[in-house]
Amino acid sequence: MTESDRELSTMAQQLWDSDVNRLQPGKDYRISLQGKAQNNMADDNDGKGYPLFTFVDENNFKKETFLAFISLLDNYESATGTPEVVTPEEEAENSKFLDCIIKSPTMKLAHKYLVEKNLSPSSETKFKEQLYRIWFELYARSGSSRPDSSGFEHVFVGETKRRRTVIGFHNWIQLYLQEKLGHIDYRGYSVTANSPEPDENKHILALQFSWKQGMKPKGSIFVGVSPEFEMALYTLCFLTSPNERVKVQFSLYDVEIVCHHYNQKHIGTTYPVLLRYQNNK
């Protein structure tokens, strides 16, 4: 681990400790991992009909940042190549969400650190503009002549490509809400030779699922964390590291944060990859 990774790990731990809105597994939510995902994604013998989330206390969704986050999830066309049109109402929802998370202890810590590193303006108004550009400014992902994507849409909402493949979609709240509506078929957890077996009481999970007639062969998400934690951590990784993979350690986790830049101005995608549970060392 490099010196910059160690410094970022210290910040990640502070963000984790400040995430007062994080849900607790077994208390605020429960998941059922069931079995490993099949390599043959056309195989229907995957426990179809059994959801990943068996319980979520939705009172947590009444918290200010959660409410503002959830209001954004229906603002996008999932198909890449279909131009996005941002209405004045949606613009106001984006602005309200950023106002909410900037006030949170988690994003305040991230902002302070970024100002100290001369990576963000000290003004909250200017910082909000920076966050808007990184996350919400539209760009053309699919070679379309018109903007059809944004960092927020890709990471937190999810997109479909040629109707058969799900891209992005790395957020547990969207996953839960879409599963509740019957739009998600959870098809099992994913592991590699170098990753640990998942744990229903931990906060990071790799999984396979289908959505809108498309398949996500392998995705990775934080589970139970607040929107402000993810926005803060991913923004830190985007602004502090020219590398597209950053290793951090916090709480019980050794994690690689994948963070692809798009034109150096926007987030293309970002998500966590669990390397190891620290209590399993």
Residue 164 confidence (pLDDT): 85
Mean pLDDT highest for which of 41-45, 231-235, 262-266? Answer: 231-235
Residue 232 confidence (pLDDT): 98
Tell me which of 71-85, 102-116, 212-226, 242-256 is least confident. Answer: 71-85
Residue 281 confidence (pLDDT): 47
- Mention every residue, 6+ apart, whose C-beta is less than 8 A from residue 251: 13, 16, 203, 278
Q: Given phi > 0 = left and psi -120 to 50 = alpha, else beta, which region is 120?
A: beta
Distance, CA of 32 to CA of 218 (rounded, Å): 17
**Tokens for 123?**
């003004």
Look at residue 42 and tell me whether its pLDDT is greater than 60.
no
Q: How confident is the model at residue 193 (pLDDT cuts 50, 70, 90)?
A: confident
Residue 144 confidence (pLDDT): 67
* Residue tagged active-site, from 202, 203, 216, 261: 216
99, 111, 105: which is closest to 240 by C-alpha?
Answer: 111
For the chain, domain boundaries: 3-280
Q: What is the pLDDT of residues 45-89, one digit of tens each?
A: 444 569 999 999 999 999 999 999 999 999 988 888 788 888 999
Active site residue 108: no
- Mention every residue, 6+ apart, whose C-beta is less than 8 A from residue 273: 195, 206, 220, 255, 256, 257, 258
Mean pLDDT of the chain: 91
Helices 88-102 and 124-135, packing angle to 10 deg: 120
Q: How confident is the model at residue 4 (pLDDT cuts 50, 70, 90)?
A: confident
**Do residues 250 and 9 touch, judged by C-beta distance below 8 A?**
yes
Residue keyed to tokens 């950023």: 98
Active site residue 170: yes
Residue 165, helix vs strand vs coil: strand
* Residue tagged active-site, from 111, 170, 202, 247: 170
113, 143, 147, 72: which is closest to 235 by C-alpha?
Answer: 113
2, 8, 19: which is closest to 248 by C-alpha?
Answer: 8
Active site residue 216: yes
* Residue tagged active-site, from 154, 202, 203, 247: 154
Look at residue 28 and tell me whether its pLDDT is greater than 50.
yes
